[in-house]
Each structure stands twice: as C-alpha cells, then as structure tokens.
Chains A and B, each alone.
Chain A
Amino acid sequence: MKILVCISKTPDTTAKIAFKDNNTKFASEGVQWILNPYDEWYALVRAIELKEKDPSTILHLITVATADADPIIRKALALGGDEAIRVNADSHDSYFIASQIAEVAKQGAYDIIFTGKETIDYNGSSIGGMVAGLLDVSYISLATKFELNGLTATVTREIEGGEETDEVALPVVVSCQKGVAEQRIPNMKGIMGARTKPLKVVEPTSVDALTSIVSFELPPAKAGVKLIPADNPAELVRLLHEEAKLI
C-alpha cells in the first residue's frame, strides 16, 4: 500500500490578517506558520494509523512550497511518514499546485491520496478534486471516516443534511475533515526521528497558472454593538422585527 498525504502551511489560526504592497500581498512579517489543521489532524493522522495497522505501508508527504515550509514539513514528519517531497514552487493557483501533486503522484503510483478539506488561508477546497481529475481516479470529498478492506475503501462523507457511506476501489483521492481521525501531538522520539527522514526537493514541471490574485481587501468594520438590557429581551425581538426586519 502506498499513501500520499498533501500538506500545506498556513498562518496560525489567530494570526492578524493584513496586506502590503498596495494590498497585493499577504503581510507575513511576524506571522507564526502552522500545518493546515485539516491536513495535520485528519489526513495525516489517518494515514499514520493505516501504516500502524499495516507496517508495510509506504507513507509519503508532499507539499508545493518554497524552502520556508521546511520546518512545517519536519513537524509533519515528526508525527509520522517515511519521507517528504517538496516541489519547490510558490503559487496560489490551485491548478498549478494540483498539477505538481498529480505529476509526483503519477510517478509514485499511490493507492490513496489524502488531502485536507481545505486550506484555511486560501479556502479553495479544490486541490483534491483537481488531483483526482488530473489522474482520472475517483474522488471522495469531505470524508468523516475512512476504512480500508484490501483494495477497497469504505468512506463516510458529508452530504447535504447528513452523511453517506460509500465503497470505492483504489486508487482514490479523499479529502478529510473532522471525524476521520483525532489530533495527535508528536512525541520526542518522533521529533528526533524526523530530523533524519528524507526530505526530497524536486523542481516543478512547467504548468501555466489559470488564475492570479489581483488584490486583497479586508471586510468593512462593524458599526458597533447595540446593547439591550437583560431585563427586557422583548426589545431585542422588536428590533430584529422592526429595525433589522429579519424575523
């Protein structure tokens, strides 16, 4: 069994979001970077669990990023995985990123490719579907459970208003969210071991980006809260009805 987990680095969830260079770039000065939570907590941990069950499993991590992602990659390797591949490029175009992953995936002939549900910075929810499309394999999005029986995966996923459980033959691309696994903290042995695990750097294949970010904006500031006395909640209902016209 060969598994590839797609990981990415994102600003810490509490990072201040600001822009520079005429609002064309994210102001990353002083920002703490983390592994995208969906990739770390769900995709990666589930892959590690599958390897723990079947130690012959080969588990690779991939990220499309420049060298400043290396500390994040080491952090991921401290949780588990045999080696990491970094495609040396910086892009916010989902198609470009997906094409790089698909290229590596083709060469590695992986049975399962896990992604997170979305990146919490660019929020595309797109990479998994694109990789599946480029490889022409099945894609199961928004998985909440993943089990393996031989060469068939049983996956529970979110559907509108509920969940469904599907069976699908490998190879498959699966995007993971809450439920698939439980967050883990790396231990000392993992952290030490991660230092010597291979981190392969490959150059990107030439692909044209299909989109480009022109500028960023921050949402307009709120006017401020209108407080209603706690002994008169009926006033809230009146305001929502007459002023806001929402109920």
Chain B
Amino acid sequence: MSVLIVIDHSDGHIKKSSFEALSYGAKVAEIIGTTAEGILLGTVSDDLASIGKYGVKKINRVNNESLNHLDSQIITDVLAEAVNQTNAKVVVFSNNITGKAVAPRLSAKLKAGLVAGAIALPETANGFVVKKTVFSGKAFANVAINTDIKIISLNPNSYHVAETDGTAEVAVLNINVGSPKIKTVSTAKASGEVSLTEAEIVVSGGRGLKGPENWGMVEELAKLLGAATACSRPVADAHWRPHHEHVGQTGIAIAPNLYIAIGISGAIQHLAGVNRSKTIVVINKDPEAPFFKAADYGIVGDAFEVVPKVIEAVKKLKGVN
C-alpha cells in the first residue's frame, strides 16, 4: 500500500506546486498509516534523491522523453500501471495544467473517485472526506471519495511545503510508453516571468490605470517584490495586457499570500478568482469600491500618486536604488 504523488516539471525542473503536493501526500500517508512515494514521468535535470526531504521514501521514474509532453492519453496509461505496481491507494496531483488534464482521465480509467481542487488534508474519522473550493472560491464542499483508490488534485498554494531531512531512493519502473498522438508544432513561453498560479505575491491592475502605457509602475512594483502581474477582465479584453494575466471567474483563479489590486473595483466576478488570497491590499481612489470589503489593507487614493510612493518605500526596505 502507498500514497503516490505525481511530480510535475517543466523545462527540466520540478515545480513548486509539486513540492506542496509531495508534502501533502507525505502527510496523507501518515494519516492512513502507509508510506509516500513519488512518481516522475519524463526527464529532469534536478537531483531526485534530495526530494526525500518532502517526506517521500522513494521516487519512481519512467525515463522517457515522450512523457515530457502533455499527452494525457499515454501519461494516464503509464500512471495507471504505476498505481498498480506501487499498490497505491491514494494518488496526489497538483491541480495545475497537468493535473487538470491527467487526474480526471486517470479517475475514469481506474474508476477511482477524484476530488479536484482540494485545499485541505482528508478527514478520515468517517470515510475519506476532502475539502475543495466550489462556486469559484465563494464556498467549500466536503466531498467523500467512496472508492478503494482515491485521487486528490491539490490546489496550488493551499498546502505548505514541509521540509525534513532525509533522502529518497530512486528507482526506475519498467513501463511501456505508447506513442503520442498530440504533435506540438510551436511553443511560446514568456521567459523570466513569475508564473501567475505559483506566485506568492501578485500585483494586479484594473481599468483605473487608464491605459497600457501606465503599467510600468505595476511591473516595477512586481519586480521589486518578486511578484507576478495580473489584471482584471476588461483590461485583457481591451488588449492592454495579455489574456493569460486575466484573473477572476472567467480567467485564472489564484491564491497567493499577497494580492495587491490597483485601480480594480472588486466586482464579484473578479473576486471569484482572487478571494482565496491570504492577504489582500487594495489601492483605489473610490472609498465605496466594493473591493475594500474584501481587503485586509487599503489606501483610498489616486494610484498615480500612491503607487510610486509605495515603490520608493519598498526600494528603501530592500536597499535598492
């Protein structure tokens, strides 16, 4: 019996959300009285033994370059076999792009119940119940998984990374890999930027910033804080900012530790994508802006005066000129 954690990676490096999934999976293993193992499909340049520090005893690998690419059909077949070989009773994914493509498919293949978007450890006093977000972060549901094998897809930034000392044994699983049917013809990645879903701090701008030419201060503040940038929907619709920055009900849902909203009114559909942020700062010139009701800290003022002063203060704090 084991808890099997799917380790996701891109560009040869393991993602932070996978460290969260590993820490979470290790704790689940403790709860149900078994051991945690990782499974890594494809090729990475990171040192795998050191991943033991997140509480897993063993990393299973399937070294095959075809698996670097997201073809859920062949990945699912390999994972199903890995579940079988490791006798996994719980499979943990990060609910990121890979998790969203693969976990449901594995669920269907194994007839194993899935909770997608989990935010807490399972309760096992009465069955196996996992809390997840519903209604776009406006509520939570406690969902019982009623099958022998259980699949949990953990929302990024909802479980802390827990480090111990310890190294993992690395073993290669012998599993056949099918031939991919999805052929990639081109890739466009914004390099050097902090990924929005994994970012701990996000600086976001709305229509109050008047035009794309005014985003310099948003980017500068984000850079100083090591933050990702985001925007409201009308801003993306007007092509002031790229679509992938659009957060909210119909954009990306995020849960950073700190969300700084500048010139955003805080419409309910915007809040739906950011209300799981641990701390929210709102800068808006209208004291009646609904966003202040959801905020922890606020400044009622003109962004064009306030934000440069915030930047100055951050520079001072960080000792940069």
Contact of A132 among B73, B147, B275, B313 (CB under 8 A): B73
Contact of B185 among A133, A154, A219 (CB under 8 A): A154
- A166 beta carbon closer than 8 Å to chain B: yes
Contact A228 B108 (CB under 8 A): no
- The residues of B that contact A167 with a CB separation of less than 8 Å are 182-183, 185
- The residues of A that contact B305 with a CB separation of less than 8 Å are 230
- The residues of B that contact A213 with a CB separation of less than 8 Å are 141-144
Known contacts A139-B101, A211-B114, A166 near B195 by CB under 8 Å: no
Contact A214 B144 (CB under 8 A): yes
Known contacts A129-B103, A178-B251, A17 near B138 by CB under 8 Å: yes
Contact A210 B114 (CB under 8 A): yes
Using a CB-CB cutoff of 8 Å, which residues 102-121 of chain B contact chain A? 102-109, 111-117
- The residues of A that contact B219 with a CB separation of less than 8 Å are none
Known contacts A159-B97, A161-B195, A14 near B268 by CB under 8 Å: yes
- The residues of B that contact A38 with a CB separation of less than 8 Å are 250
Shortest CB distance B100–A (Å): 5
Shortest CB distance B311–A (Å): 9
Contact B300 A227 (CB under 8 A): yes
Query: Can you list, as one digit per residue, whether each of B91-105 has a CB less than 8 Å from chain A (1) or not (0)?
Result: 000011110111111
- The residues of B that contact A233 with a CB separation of less than 8 Å are 299, 301, 306-307, 309-310, 313
The residue in B116, B225, B246, B301 that gathers the most chain A C-beta atoms within 10 A of its C-beta is B116
Contact A225 B297 (CB under 8 A): yes
Shortest CB distance A173–B (Å): 10
Using a CB-CB cutoff of 8 Å, which residues 123-157 of chain A contact chain B? 123-134, 136-142, 144, 154
Contact of B182 among A13, A121, A162, A168 (CB under 8 A): A168
Contact A133 B140 (CB under 8 A): no
- B272 beta carbon closer than 8 Å to chain A: yes
Contact of B139 among A154, A218, A238, A239 (CB under 8 A): A218
Residues of A in contact, count (CB < 8 Å): 79
How many A-B pairs with Cβ below 8 Å? 276
Closest-by-CB residue of B relative to A127 is B104
Query: Can you list, as one digit per residue, whether each of B128-149 has a CB less than 8 Å from chain A (1) or not (0)?
Result: 0101111111111111111100
Known contacts A140-B182, A210-B107, A213-B143, A160 near B10 by CB under 8 Å: yes
Spot the interface stretch: B51-59, B162-170, B288-296. B288-296
- B229 beta carbon closer than 8 Å to chain A: no
- A32 beta carbon closer than 8 Å to chain B: no
- B281 beta carbon closer than 8 Å to chain A: yes
Query: Can you list, as one digit per residue, whether each of A96-137 has a CB less than 8 Å from chain B (1) or not (0)?
Result: 001000000000000000000000111111111111111011
- The residues of A that contact B316 with a CB separation of less than 8 Å are 234
Shortest CB distance B46–A (Å): 16
Having A120-B272, A121-B135, one finds 5 other A-B pairs with CB under 8 Å, namely A120-B135, A130-B104, A141-B100, A233-B313, A240-B258
Q: Which A residues fall within an 8 A CB radius of B?
A: 11, 13-14, 17, 19, 37-38, 41, 94-95, 98, 120-134, 136-142, 144, 154, 158-169, 178-179, 209-219, 222-223, 225-230, 233-234, 236-241, 244, 246-247
What are 28 inter-chain pairs, A to B, with CB distance below 8 A?
A94-B104, A120-B135, A123-B135, A126-B104, A129-B101, A133-B106, A133-B109, A134-B108, A136-B73, A139-B72, A142-B97, A160-B96, A164-B184, A165-B184, A210-B147, A211-B113, A212-B143, A212-B146, A213-B141, A216-B139, A217-B140, A219-B140, A225-B293, A227-B297, A230-B305, A237-B317, A246-B257, A247-B258
